[in-house]
Amino acid sequence: MLLVTGGAGFIGSNVVAALNQAGRSDVVICDLLGTEGKWRNLAKRQLVDIVPPTELMDWLKGRKLEAMIHLGAISATTATDGDLVVETNFRLSMRLLDWCTMNTVPFIYASSAATYGDGTEGFDDDPSLPALKKLRPMNLYGWSKHLFDLAVAERVARGDRLPPQWAGLKFFNVFGPNEYHKGSMMSVLARRFDDVRAGRVVQLFKSHREGIEDGDQRRDFIYVDDVVRVVLWLLATPSVSGLFNVGTGKARSFKDLMLAAYAALGTRPNIEYIDMPEQIRDSYQYFTQSEVDRLLRAGYNGGFTTLEDAVKAYVGDYLDRPDRFR
């Protein structure tokens, strides 16, 4: 069996969909479905079991797994409950790492570009302890992910035993189908698409930094299908371990993202710029761009979808249809 934690979430449900499409029905999910319709991310899937996170360690006793894909986390960059975030994102991850080590199970886990903080130290996915210790995440979520990266790197540096394959994936700005339950953490495209389609004004943040135009804050936007390809490639390539950025390597602006949506619909842009809330100005990233050389040197050759093609696919295949779910 394959275990996907966070398998009902955005990236997780897309990974599960790809596994099903590849003929794998022996998939177990660890997640909470809640009451906000998150189950719809799984409505077209075939599964062995759905295990609540609080029961996972007991469920794992005596089990045999082909691999564990650990994507479950509190992923809101606005999270403030430090104890809950540490328990969920760090301590559970440590227990799962130990279990995979003891049971010789490949372990692929989600890190985050949020570990890079404001980008002062660049976006090089150098997995060494000295390099990682220079990073200063700007929010609780990013710090919790960074804490786990450091713990893994410490074991590597000491030569401690690890799973037969381990891979940490620093996801950049992922967007695509099944992100709808994420509320304010959805991509701007998903949040604003109905306005785009209806011709209503779309609001983007003004810039509060000299030299950067309104709407020209840039992110490394990556379509979820590209992320899934990386995960499946790692599953098929057990000889590869390490810490890897997962982005396109090209930063694009929020304005570019929304203009691509208008182009996909063939409609005229209607964008206005509003002040960024003061409470996030000091922690707002104006630029992220992954360095993907390490992933490419490891042998990945799946390529990355251009922003325009990704938006066109997302709009045409999902957002502009009655059924938006994968």
Q: HEC states along the chain? A: CEEEECCCCHHHHHHHHHHHHCCCCCEEEECCCCCCCHHHHHCCCCCCEEECHHHHHHHHCCCCCCEEEECCCCCCCCCCCHHHHHHHHHHHHHHHHHHHHHCCCCEEEEEEHHHHCCCCCCCCCCCCHHHHCCCCCCCHHHHHHHHHHHHHHHHHHHCCCCCCCEEEEEECEEECCCCHHHHHHCCHHHHHHHHHHHCCCEEEECCCCCCCCCCCCEECEEEHHHHHHHHHHHHHCCCCCEEEEECCCCCEEHHHHHHHHHHHHCCCCCEEEECCCHHHHCCCCCECCCCCHHHHHCCCCCCCCCHHHHHHHHHHHHHCCCCCCC
- Judge whether 75 and 54 are in contact, CB under 8 Å: no
Tens-binned pLDDT, residue by residue, of the chain (326 aa): 999 999 999 999 999 999 999 999 999 999 999 988 899 999 999 999 999 999 999 999 999 999 999 999 988 888 889 999 999 999 999 999 999 999 999 999 999 999 999 888 999 999 999 999 999 998 999 999 999 999 999 999 999 999 999 999 999 999 999 999 998 889 999 999 999 999 999 999 999 988 999 999 999 999 999 999 999 999 999 999 999 999 999 999 999 999 999 999 999 999 999 999 888 887 788 899 999 999 999 999 999 999 999 999 999 999 999 999 99
144 is in an annotated binding site: no
Q: Is 222 part of any known ligand binding site?
A: no
Beta bridge partners of 170: 111, 245
Q: Is residue 182 annotated as part of the catalytic site, yes or no?
A: yes
Find the catalytic residue in 61, 170, 180, 182.
182
With tokens 């302890």, the residue in question is 129
- 2 belongs to an annotated ligand binding site: no
Q: Which of 109, 141, 180, 300 is catalytic?
A: 141
Residue 281 in marked binding region: no
Residue 176 is encoded by which pair of tokens? 């695509």
Is 312 annotated in some ligand binding site?
Answer: no
132 is an annotated ligand-binding site residue: no
Give me the pLDDT at residue 284, please: 80
Look at residue 95 in the predicted model and tell me its pLDDT.
Answer: 97
61 is in an annotated binding site: no
Asked whether residue 208 is marked as a ligand-binding residue, the answer is yes
pTM: 0.95
Q: How far apart are CA 242 and CA 172, in angstroms?
A: 17
* pLDDT on residue 78: 82
Q: Is 205 known to sit in a ligand binding site?
A: yes
Mark whether 286 is an active-site residue: no
